[in-house]
Amino acid sequence: MKYLASVALALAVAQATPVKRDAPQGIDVSSHQTGIDWNAVKNDDIEFVYIKATEGTYYTSPQFGSQYTGATNAGLIRGSYHFARPDTTSGADQAQYFLDNGGGWSADGITLPGALDIEYNPYGSDKCYGVSADEMVAWVMDFSNTYNGQTGRYPVIYTTTDWWTTCTGNSPAFGANNPLWIAHFASSIGDLPAGWDYTTFWQYADSGPNPGDADIFNGDSANLQKFARGG
**Are the CB atoms for 57 and 86 separated by under 8 Å?**
no
* Residue 20, in any domain of the structure: yes
28 is catalytic: yes
- Write down the pTM of the prediction: 0.91
Confidence (pLDDT) at 14: 35
Catalytic (active site) residue 37? no
- In this predicted structure, what is the pLDDT of residue 11? 30
Backbone angles phi, psi at 55, to 5 degrees: -150, 135
Is 67 within a domain?
yes
**Residue 125 domain flag:** yes
pLDDT at 206 over 90: yes
Closest Cα partner for 228 from 202, 201, 209?
201
Q: Does residue 11 sit within a domain?
A: yes
* CATH code where residue 134 lies: 3.20.20.80
Q: What is the pLDDT of residue 231?
A: 85
Q: Looking at the predicted structure, is the pLDDT value of residue 12 above 60?
A: no
pLDDT of amino acid 7: 28
Expressed as residue numbers, the domain containing 155 is 7-229
Q: Which of 37, 55, 93, 117 is catalytic?
A: 117
Q: What pLDDT digit, counting tens, does each position of 46-105 carry? A: 999 999 999 999 999 999 999 999 999 999 999 999 999 999 999 999 999 999 999 999
Q: What is the pLDDT of residue 212?
A: 97
Amino acid at position 136, single letter: M
pLDDT in tens, 143-180: 999 999 999 999 999 999 999 999 999 999 999 999 99
Which residue out of 55, 119, 213, 215 is catalytically annotated?
A: 119
For the chain, how many structural domains are there in total?
1
Tell me the C-alpha to C-alpha distance, in Å, between residue 71 and each of 28, 39, 149, 228.
Answer: 11, 8, 27, 15
Q: Of 217, 176, 169, which Cα lies nearest the Cα of 195?
A: 176
Catalytic entry in 28, 206, 213, 215? 28
- Split at pLDDT 50, 70, 90, the class of 13 is very low
Q: What is the mean pLDDT of residues 105-122?
A: 97
In a domain, 74, yes or no: yes
Percent of the chain with pLDDT over 90: 89
Query: Mean pLDDT in the chain?
Result: 92
| Rg of the chain (C-alpha set) | 16
Q: Exposed, middle or buried, 130 (CB in 10 Å: 0-12/13-18/19+)? A: exposed
* 36-73: burial string, b at 16+ Cβ within 10 Å, e else: bebeebbeeebbbbbbbbbbbbebbbebbeebbebbee
> Is residue 112 one of the residues assigned to a domain?
yes
Amino acid at 128: C
Percent of the chain at pLDDT > 70 equals 91
For residue 2, being part of any structural domain is answered with no
Query: Residue 55 catalytic?
Result: no
Answer yes or no: is 1 within a domain. no
**Residue 1's pLDDT is what?**
56
pLDDT surpassing 60 at residue 18? no
Classify residue 103 by its DSSP letter.
-
Residue-level pLDDT at 107 = 97
Q: Is 191 exposed, middle or buried (0-12, 13-18, 19+ CB in 10 A)?
A: exposed
CA separation (Å) from 198 to 149, 153, 189?
25, 18, 10
Say yes or no to pLDDT of 198 above 70.
Answer: yes
